[in-house]
């Protein structure tokens, strides 16, 4: 009996480790291939099929950094990313606080309906967004992208914040109210410091949404000096003969900021998503 149980445990652990290894290979192998390609010359890409190049070179990275469109796209992505973070937090915090603390008719239904826009792919809303932006004279403006990206992430942000606000004992706010604190003072000085993981999570998700999005940039902008890194990466493929090392280096430089941000804030993001989902 003991031998059977031991065998079952070993089989379970083996299956678990095989699953983890398969997941890591699925996630890391494309990244390793991209890094390897970016360190090769154009001639070595096909001449040397090995994963690691014989003579690694950073020439592709220097060519990307010297590309005029890269600096402009990097600035646009950074500006739009931080703008989306700020606007999403400004809109999500008071909205979620109202859902968590006030009781009004249709509250749960309205909170549920807020998730419906997340079910619509960006392709399905491109035409209506373009028509609205054209009617408002907002085509080819960075602010338009900030507003659109914030609206796309707002339902998820509100849901996460509602879970955190509901987890904070209301007695703390009532005690502060007795001491003369207004609603905004309670929110700013008591509630928000206790929801740092949720705020960081929303900020990271908003930044990622703005940093990675491509289709709406293609529709809502018309000039190269308003477009972001994903579009500039797409534009490098229209140069004629394919330059795989430069395209790979561009891809690595595009995702590198997101990787660094996530590594730095990973514990807050995980805590924010898990806590917001179970409360």
| Per-residue confidence in pLDDT tens, the chain, 279 aa | 555 556 667 777 777 788 778 877 787 888 888 888 888 887 777 777 777 777 888 888 998 888 888 889 999 999 999 999 999 999 999 888 888 888 777 777 777 777 777 777 777 788 888 889 888 888 889 999 999 999 888 888 888 888 888 888 878 877 877 777 777 877 778 888 888 888 888 888 889 889 988 888 888 988 888 889 988 888 877 555 577 888 888 989 888 888 888 777 766 665 555 554 444
pTM for the full predicted model = 0.82
Residues 246, 64 contacting (CB under 8 angstroms): yes
Distance of CA 227 to the CA centre of its chain: 18
Domain ranges of the chain: 2-38, 68-278
**CATH code at 68-278:** 1.10.3720.10
Measured distance CA(136)–CA(43) in Å, rounded: 50
Helix ranges restricted to H, the chain:
2-38, 44-47, 59-65, 68-101, 107-113, 122-135, 142-167, 170-178, 183-186, 196-212, 215-220, 229-235, 244-278
**Tokens coding 101:** 């603390």
């Amino acid at each position: 009996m003991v031998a059977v149980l031991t065998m079952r445990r070993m089989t379970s652990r083996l299956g678990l480790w095989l699953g983890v290894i398969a997941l890591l290979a699925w996630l890391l192998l494309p990244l390793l291939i991209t890094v390897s390609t970016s360190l090769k010359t154009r001639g070595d890409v096909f001449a040397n099929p090995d994963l690691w190049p014989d003579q690694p070179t950073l020439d592709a990275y220097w060519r990307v950094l010297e590309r005029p469109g890269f600096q402009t796209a990097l600035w646009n992505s950074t500006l739009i990313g931080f703008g989306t973070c700020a606007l999403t937090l400004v809109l999500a915090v008071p909205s979620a606080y109202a859902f968590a603390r006030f009781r009004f008719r249709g509250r749960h239904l309205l909170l549920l309906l807020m998730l419906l826009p997340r079910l619509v792919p960006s392709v399905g809303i491109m035409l209506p967004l373009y028509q609205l932006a054209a009617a408002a004279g907002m085509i080819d403006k960075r602010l338009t992208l900030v507003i659109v990206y914030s609206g796309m992430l707002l339902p998820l942000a509100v849901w996460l914040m509602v879970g955190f606000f509901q987890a904070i004992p209301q007695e703390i706010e009532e005690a502060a109210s007795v001491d003369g604190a207004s609603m905004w003072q309670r929110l700013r000085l008591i509630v928000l410091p206790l929801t740092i993981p949720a705020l960081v999570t929303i900020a990271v998700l908003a930044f990622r949404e703005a940093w990675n999005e491509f289709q709406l940039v293609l529709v809502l902008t018309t000039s190269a000096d308003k477009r972001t890194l994903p579009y500039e990466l797409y534009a490098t493929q229209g140069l004629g003969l394919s330059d795989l090392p430069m395209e790979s280096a561009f891809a690595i430089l595009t995702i590198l900021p997101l990787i660094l941000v996530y590594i730095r804030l990973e514990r807050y993001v995980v805590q924010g998503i898990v806590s917001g989902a179970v409360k």
